[in-house]
Structure 1
Amino acid sequence: MVQSFNLSGIFGVLKVLKNPQLIVPHMVVNDIRNINFEILKNKGIQVLAFDKDNTLAAPYSDKLHEDFENAWKECKRQFGNENIIIISNSIGTDDDPEYRGAQKVENSLGVSVLRHKYKKPNGGTELISHFASLPPAQIAVIGDRLLTDVLFGNMNGMFTIFIKQIITEKGDNKVAAMIRRFEYRILDYLKDRGVKPPPHPFTLNSIK
């Protein structure tokens, strides 16, 4: 599957220029093995919304990365399959003919893939509508991109977890890989200047 150009990402950059804290995550981890899912649940997070590529799986793969099997089991044990969803800028979008890619991932990972029209960082209302009974603050967005995943979550009042150690650049979108390296430098720059993430009702400072 080839991911089409993400125009909404360009508009996202303009929002960040006005408010840089929108790309500062509430939590930074190497990968999902470093997330304490029990603490997240106890602090009030009810839903986990994962990016797929380089967060759960290698780019454009429908298989969970083998090193994450135990963490994924613990994630499901704490939250239940019905409270975990994948929101990707490839599968589940118009780039995914008849949502065949989404169906493969659902069969492989055992959780739903959100069908959505707008790519991250836009489309927050689509995820919020899917879990209409919950306030956005009870949703955590987990992904490897600042200008899509983290910006998406912060713009919509969600808790954001940034994955800083990707699985592989092999097979990745070359433009995305280039932008990701730029994002790392921007995050370091903002942190050095004391820029904090947007306020969030859950105090998770004990989680590093």
Structure 2
Amino acid sequence: MLSSTASAQLPSCWYLFPSHLNAHHHAQQKRKLTSLTLANADRQVYNLCLSQAQKNNKGLESNYRTRYNFNLIQNHKYPFFQLLFPFDDTKDTNNQNSQTRKESQFEVDKHKGFKENNIARSLFTEMWWVDIKAAIGQRINLEGILCSAMVIVKSPKLALPHIAVPDIRYIDWAELRRKGFKGVVFDKDNTITAPYSLMPWPPLESSLERCKLEFGPDIAVFSNSAGLHEYDPDGSKARMLEAAVGIKVIRHKVKKPSGTAEEVEKHFGCESSKLIMVGDRPFTDIVYGNRNGFLTILTEPLSLVDEPFIVKQVRKLETTFVSYWCRRGLEPPVQKLLPNPMSCVKEPRP
């Protein structure tokens, strides 16, 4: 058994020790502690000899306390004595106590910072968080709100489509091809799929096939959900939609109606004035198309069942503005390839 002995001149005193510390005193006088034996959990025994001299010498007492603190910190084996003799108020000429406290606090701060960084990293990289951001962003399009305000104040005609139909079955794709258009750009939600779905709307499949026959591979989806880097960073939604619909999804960084047609033109290899933009939202799809010179086609929403309440209210507001401007006689920007847009509208096949 290992043992160590420490001896010092300290004032007479008595202490109430917890029973598990196994403290025993050997004194001639009652309640006055002159000898102290301690045993820790590792069965190491420590003996202290306490003297009754120097009762009123506060300077020596402080000196002894400092020496005890120094030895205890150096050995790091006596946590109990750190409770008995707090060393924050003692003078340490070697600055050992201050250094130890700094190192200990540094380790605590380092561990706390590491834990907080791990929590933040885990939160912002989990896919469920990305999905929440996507859901909120698709309901509240801040870029769209600002752009819509500018449209209402300065350029209402940008929200007016060249062609308005119930859905894409009413579009004569062959006639559009004969007029000189090179490609078709579809919005996704409520244009060719139900809201937030990655599967095509079944009644539209025949019209999509006829569009593919006329334009071949020059068809793409340009959406504010699938393919948008902010909400589809790994492109997983874009790949799923491509597999289900058989149409290429253009990856892009800026939400409609903001941004230019650079990414779309690069995909098709032609200028935007020879392309067709098809969507269900006047203040996003149609404004984006008109700003960049597309032929714009507005469709009615396929389903409002799963559409969020906010989107429904915004849609009603958009429809109200468009109807008002049409009654006033406003017209959309001129499209050179199609002076008479109604020539490309037909009744759908039964």
> TM-score normalised by the shorter chain: which range applies?
over 0.9
Residues of 2 paired with 1:15 and 1:84: CA distance? 30
Following superposition, the deviation at residue 170 of structure 1 comes to: 2.2
Q: 2:281 aligns with which of 142, 145, 150?
A: 145
Following superposition, the deviation at residue 198 of structure 1 comes to: 0.4
Q: 2:155 aligns with which of 11, 15, 19?
A: 19
Is 2:290 the partner of 1:154? yes
Following superposition, the deviation at residue 69 of structure 1 comes to: 1.4
Residues of 2 paired with 1:174 and 1:43: CA distance? 40
Paired residues, number:
205
For structure 1, the residue ranges without an aligned partner over 5 or more in a row are: none
Rg larger in structure: 2
Q: AA paired with 2:282?
A: L
Match of 2:265 in 1: 128
- 1:110-129 aligned at under 5 Å gives the runs 110-124=246-260, 125-129=262-266
Match of 1:62 in 2: 198
Match of 2:225 in 1: 90
| Length-normalised TM-score, structure 1 | 0.94
CA RMSD of aligned residues (A): 1.4
SS of residue paired to 1:28: strand
8 Å Cα contact 1:26-1:159 kept in structure 2: yes
Residues of 1 paired with 2:213 and 2:266: CA distance? 24
SS of residue paired to 1:181: helix
Residues of 2 paired with 1:11 and 1:182: CA distance? 15
Residues of 2 paired with 1:173 and 1:200: CA distance? 34
8 Å Cα contact 1:3-1:90 kept in structure 2: no
What percent identity do the matched residue pairs reach? 36
8 Å Cα contact 2:168-2:299 kept in structure 1: yes
Q: AA paired with 1:9?
A: G
Q: AA paired with 2:326?
A: K
- 1:1-208 aligned at under 5 Å gives the runs 1=131, 2-4=135-137, 5-16=140-151, 17-80=153-216, 82-93=217-228, 94-124=230-260, 125-131=262-268, 133-164=269-300, 166-202=301-337, 203-205=339-341, 206-208=343-345
Residues 122-167 of structure 1: CA distance to partner in whole angstroms, max 9, x if unpaired? 1233222323x31211011000000100000000011100002x11
Q: Which has the higher contact order (CA 8 A, sep 6+)?
A: 1
Residues 50-73 of structure 1: CA distance to partner in whole angstroms, max 9, x if unpaired? 001100010111111111111111
SS of residue paired to 2:344: coil
Q: AA paired with 1:168?
A: S
Residues of 1 paired with 2:170 and 2:280: CA distance? 14
Q: AA paired with 1:104?
A: M
Following superposition, the deviation at residue 45 of structure 1 comes to: 1.2
| Length-normalised TM-score, structure 2 | 0.57
Following superposition, the deviation at residue 3 of structure 1 comes to: 4.9
Residues of 2 paired with 1:40 and 1:105: CA distance? 25
After the TM superposition, which parts of structure 1 deviate over 3 Å for at least 4 consecutive aligned residues? none
